[in-house]
Amino acid sequence: TKHLLARVAAHQQLGAFLCTDEALALAQAQAADDRRAKGETGPLLGVPLAHKDIFVTTDFPSTAASKMLEGYRSPFDATVVAQLKAAGSVTLGKLNCDEFAMGGSNENSAYGPARNPWNVNRITGGSSGGSAAAVAARLIPAATGTDTGGSVRQPASLTGITGIKPTYGRCSRYGMIAFASSLDQAGPLARSAEDCALLLSAMSGFDPRDATSAERPVEDYAAAIRAPRAGATAAQPLKGLRIGLPKEFFGDGVAAGVTTAVRAALAEFEKLGATLVDVSLPRTELSIPVYYIIAPAEASSNLSRFDGVRYGHRAKDHGDLLDMYKKSRAEGFGPEVKRRIMIGTYVLSHGYYDAYYLQAQKLRRMIADDFQAAFAQCDLIAGPVSPTVARPLGSQTDPVQEYLADIFTLPGSLAGLPGMSVPAGFGEEGLPVGLQLIGNYWQEGQLLHAAHAFQ
């Protein structure tokens, strides 16, 4: 803990952390030592972690990287945070992200971007950019993130680390500041599938305070990755595993260096005994308009709670109550958050609801059905996470172009499927490339097993 606190302090220019608390971390490390001295064991006992600032915590401010929540302290811990605390982990601080998790570059943080440790003038990806930067720079061995449309997988991919978004409902959303409730899921970012497995087991489970959390027993994912596949051999640990390659994930629009790295990784999977099969996810392109209707619609509703009364920022000079709401929101929210509230309010409006929101919901179902048709032919689906490597900071000013880069992570999110990013090598400019693996519902164990065999 001391060593990593020093690393965190020495690498502040990465913008990974929004706050730290050295005294608290040292006290937690001591408490973990005491538990160990009493004979307690556990894979996370005494392990330093940090949490995306989307999770509310009693020990630190919780801001969602927004001015709106500057200095806000929660009276309770998010369930995921409480579970990791109970497992004996040490919390070094809270991690930067896009404001309210809206974005894919961490440039939407009200507190400045996180920087990619591979090249500090490049984005980390987002929205869990601080988590990715902190793990990639070896400031912490693992971090929590959240993934609504790719926010664990894409920053993991762009910083060369491993991240998994489990099946929707696997982790409790209680205390995760809501962006789009039907899509939001927690997930770990770490150096390896094995470390992700250790965190995910501790983060998962039914929570009576989240009605969408699943009443399913929690798997020991670390055991799952070690368990040999039926029919596998030592040389071919993935023998019999069918990996589906959607043709829509390998077309134009993917950078040559990304495709090359992904193909090379898939060739390794073949050597490990897996077979590659061609599949199709015909509505891949539609996942962009569908997601960018549904997610802002839910966001516009979720963010109505930030009214200057109950939480955070209240404008100083205001007239009547309505003026106070307006000024507080105008000052507290950044431009991307305002854009999403506008879009969401519009698509839910009388007269537009059927044309946009309802249509998007119908397509969401069809996208999920397409996955089931593909999974009839394969066990896992693979492709790129992001069409490009990390772009330069400040190089994208067109929000629609930015949204298009989410094309490979959105389909799985809309379907509620588990997905992960596994380092696949390097592409353009020598920057990291992630291989995406998507599993069927509740197949996190199989995903992690395959990733671990590859690593």
Catalytically active residues, by annotation: 52, 127, 151
- Which residue among 102, 158, 262, 433 contacts ligand GLN (CB under 6 A)? 102
Please state the closest distance from residue 150 (CB atom) to ligand GLN, in A. Answer: 5
**Residue 8 lies near ligand GLN (rule: CB under 6 A):** no
Torsion of the alpha carbons at 301, 305, 307 and 310, rounded to the nearest 10: 180
Please state the closest distance from residue 446 (CB atom) to ligand GLN, in A. Answer: 23
Site for ligand GLN in 122-141 (CB under 6 A): 127
- Which of 127, 172 has the CB closer to ligand GLN? 127
Bond before 204 cis per omega within 30 degrees:
no
- Which of 222, 410 has the CB closer to ligand GLN? 410
Contacts of residue 135, defined as CB under 8 A and 6 or more positions apart, other chains included, come to 141, 142, 143, 159, 161, 189, 190, 191
- Which of 152, 196 has the CB closer to ligand GLN? 152
Interatomic CA distance for residues 92 and 20, integer angstroms: 6
**Residue 104 lies near ligand GLN (rule: CB under 6 A):** yes
* SS3 state at 309: coil
Residue nearest to ligand GLN (CB): 151
Record the tokens describing residue 44, joined without a space.
Answer: 């996370």
- Which of 105, 443 has the CB closer to ligand GLN? 105
Asked if 125 and 390 count as a contact pair (C-beta separation under 8 A), the reply is yes
Looking at 38-128, list the stretches that DSSP marks H as alpha helix, in order from N- to C-terminal side: 79-86
Nearest to 206 by CA among 196, 198, 197, 216: 216
**Residue 103 lies near ligand GLN (rule: CB under 6 A):** yes
Asked if 150 and 160 count as a contact pair (C-beta separation under 8 A), the reply is no
**Residue 148 lies near ligand GLN (rule: CB under 6 A):** yes
- Which of 52, 452 has the CB closer to ligand GLN? 52
Query: How distant is the alpha carbon of residue 394 from its chain centre?
Result: 22
Phi-psi region of 77 (alpha: psi -120 to 50; beta: other; left: phi over 0): beta
Please state the closest distance from residue 103 (CB atom) to ligand GLN, in A. Answer: 5
**Residue 101 lies near ligand GLN (rule: CB under 6 A):** yes
Query: How distant is the alpha carbon of residue 16 from its chain centre?
Result: 15
**Residue 406 lies near ligand GLN (rule: CB under 6 A):** yes
Please state the closest distance from residue 335 (CB atom) to ligand GLN, in A. Answer: 13
Q: By rule CB under 6 A, what count of residues binds ligand GLN?
A: 13
**Residue 163 lies near ligand GLN (rule: CB under 6 A):** no
Please state the closest distance from residue 241 (CB atom) to ligand GLN, in A. Answer: 27
- Which of 153, 327 has the CB closer to ligand GLN? 153
Which of 21-29, 149-157, 433-441, 443-451 is the region at the interface with ligand GLN (rule: CB under 6 A)?
Answer: 149-157
DSSP state of 438: E
Side by side, which strands form the sheet with 162-165? 17-20, 90-95, 48-52, 142-147, 185-190, 162-165, 419-426, 432-439, 380-384, 242-246, 275-279
Record the tokens describing residue 169, joined without a space.
Answer: 């409902």
**Ramachandran angles phi, psi of 133, nearest 5°:** -65, -45
Please state the closest distance from residue 99 (CB atom) to ligand GLN, in A. Answer: 10
- Which of 291, 325 has the CB closer to ligand GLN? 291
Interatomic CA distance for residues 451 and 191, integer angstroms: 12
**Residue 150 lies near ligand GLN (rule: CB under 6 A):** yes
Which of 86-94, 148-156, 204-212, 365-373 is the region at the interface with ligand GLN (rule: CB under 6 A)?
Answer: 148-156
Query: 13: buried, middle or exposed (CB in 10 Å: 19+, 13-18, 0-12)?
Result: exposed
Please state the closest distance from residue 192 (CB atom) to ligand GLN, in A. Answer: 22
- Which of 147, 194 has the CB closer to ligand GLN? 147
- Which residue among 49, 295, 341, 451 contacts ligand GLN (CB under 6 A)? 295
**Residue 151 lies near ligand GLN (rule: CB under 6 A):** yes
Binding site for ligand GLN (CB under 6 A): 101-104, 127, 147-151, 179, 295, 406
